[in-house]
Structure 1
């Protein structure tokens, strides 16, 4: 029931697991009490089994306290031995790994046709976006609105702290709370005072400037402006909170949200 109702609230994985750990304390304490009372009343087999189960649960409860409330590594953690025995790192999911590998092949995460239509991938290049202070505020407001509509969930894809730690040990890249990126609901490209401005929002009525394109591919906009026509093929929300490997354990860091774009080009007849 707790898990069901917490699903209505956007909580990061670490906070949610802290809540579960706190709720587990009275449950384990009650099992210990029941096991001891059974033993005191002569029900040795039943009491012994309940007591054994409560001791195992108490062990995992202590492990969770280390994982979710401290940055220390528990000195009596048996999970590496279990991993070695099973031959598979704990918390791995073959289906999820296959999906992650597929996503890594396309860092922009574009699997479906974007709202702006389909462009030939051979004529699509990444663009660099420069952001002013006002435009950064517009991006932050867009993130807040997307979160309120459940379009963005900064929950690390449901990964536990242990799964994140395992992933960071095999890959030094940060693990982002929103993943590799989330498609912006609405975006368009406008030319203003000789500059290419990216506008984005929940919808067309909500659009606001979120950055200025400075390069396409490896070339400055000024060098290609009279050679090609540019179209905004896609806009992805990236950045925000992320987990990185600290000295002994993963630590959460924060980064500003940003807009990553892809530009389709069409050469002019001249």
Structure 2
């Protein structure tokens, strides 16, 4: 059976075949070949080789279980609570990435160009009022047609790979760049992220609490900081089940990339 699978894999290499088609072909071959193990187990039992017969029979049951799972996955829309494959994927570090998967979109900075070694991700916290401002801004961007909802033109397999890393992919993946954003340090020493559809309609969207792994106040004492980009993410999204992508809804939030330069 494994020789046949190897031959199938070898000849499929000459064709452009997606993973689901290959999976169906492998499943059909395995579904036929696994029954040969049952025949071998019977012959061992018939010849009094009970220990080997038990081993081959156990192997048959195990492989038959995975064949049934693959039939459910590749040929139906059904699932089963006895599916252990998600646990196996977690142990192995998640699903394998396909070579032909589209790469994530590159976010073009909206506030200047910075070298990648001079930027860090900021941690932003929003209270209830700031969160309302974020939600209102997202609705405004939608009404203006500035927020995409096509999941970055990614297909199901590519979405699943992102979901495996982040638990969710949003419809406006990889995020919507704010038309206007700024960073303001208040008299109380807090660093506020301001943003909106323009400067006149900007609101307080959140507080920058960390730059990378460094508290913002500590970073400000050693570096000059500037916002390289501020994105809004959230809203409608997808999570993955074994058979399909399910719709979810999450609160909108903002993400900031902060540029830094050591003070002279």
Provide the residue aligned with 1:185 in structure 2. Answer: 179
Give the deviation of 1:247 after TM superposition: 5.4
CA distance in 1, matches of 2:249, 2:119: 30
Provide the residue aligned with 1:204 in structure 2. Answer: 199
Provide the residue aligned with 2:77 in structure 1. Answer: 73
**Cα gap change, 1:170 to 1:267, in 2 (>3 Å):** closer
CA distance in 1, matches of 2:137, 2:161: 33
What is the SS of the residue equivalent to 1:256? Answer: strand
Q: How many residues align?
A: 166
CA distance in 1, matches of 2:191, 2:143: 29
**Cα gap change, 1:268 to 1:255, in 2 (>3 Å):** same
Q: Residues 15-51 of structure 1, C-alpha deviation per residue, up to 9 Å, x if partnerless?
A: xxxxxxxxxxxxxxxxxxxxxxxxxxxxxxxxxxxxx
The question of whether the paired residues in 1 share the 8 Å contact of 2:104 and 2:174 is answered with no
Give 1 or 2 for the bigger CA radius of gyration: 2
1:152-191 alignment, distance < 5 Å: 152-157=147-152, 163-164=155-156, 166-167=157-158, 172-173=164-165, 174-191=168-185
Provide the residue aligned with 1:101 in structure 2. Answer: 103
- The answer on 1:149 being equivalent to 2:144 is yes
CA distance in 1, matches of 2:110, 2:160: 37
CA distance in 2, matches of 1:264, 1:138: 24
Structure 1 vs Structure 2 CA RMSD:
2.5
**Cα gap change, 1:202 to 1:227, in 2 (>3 Å):** same
Give the deviation of 1:225 after TM superposition: 2.5
Question: How does the TM-score come out when normalised to structure 2?
Answer: 0.57
Give the deviation of 1:73 after TM superposition: 1.5
Provide the residue aligned with 1:226 in structure 2. Answer: 221
Unaligned runs of 5+ in 1: 1-71, 76-91, 104-108
Provide the residue aligned with 1:136 in structure 2. Answer: 131
The question of whether the paired residues in 1 share the 8 Å contact of 2:124 and 2:207 is answered with yes
Give the deviation of 1:249 after TM superposition: 2.9
Provide the residue aligned with 1:214 in structure 2. Answer: 209
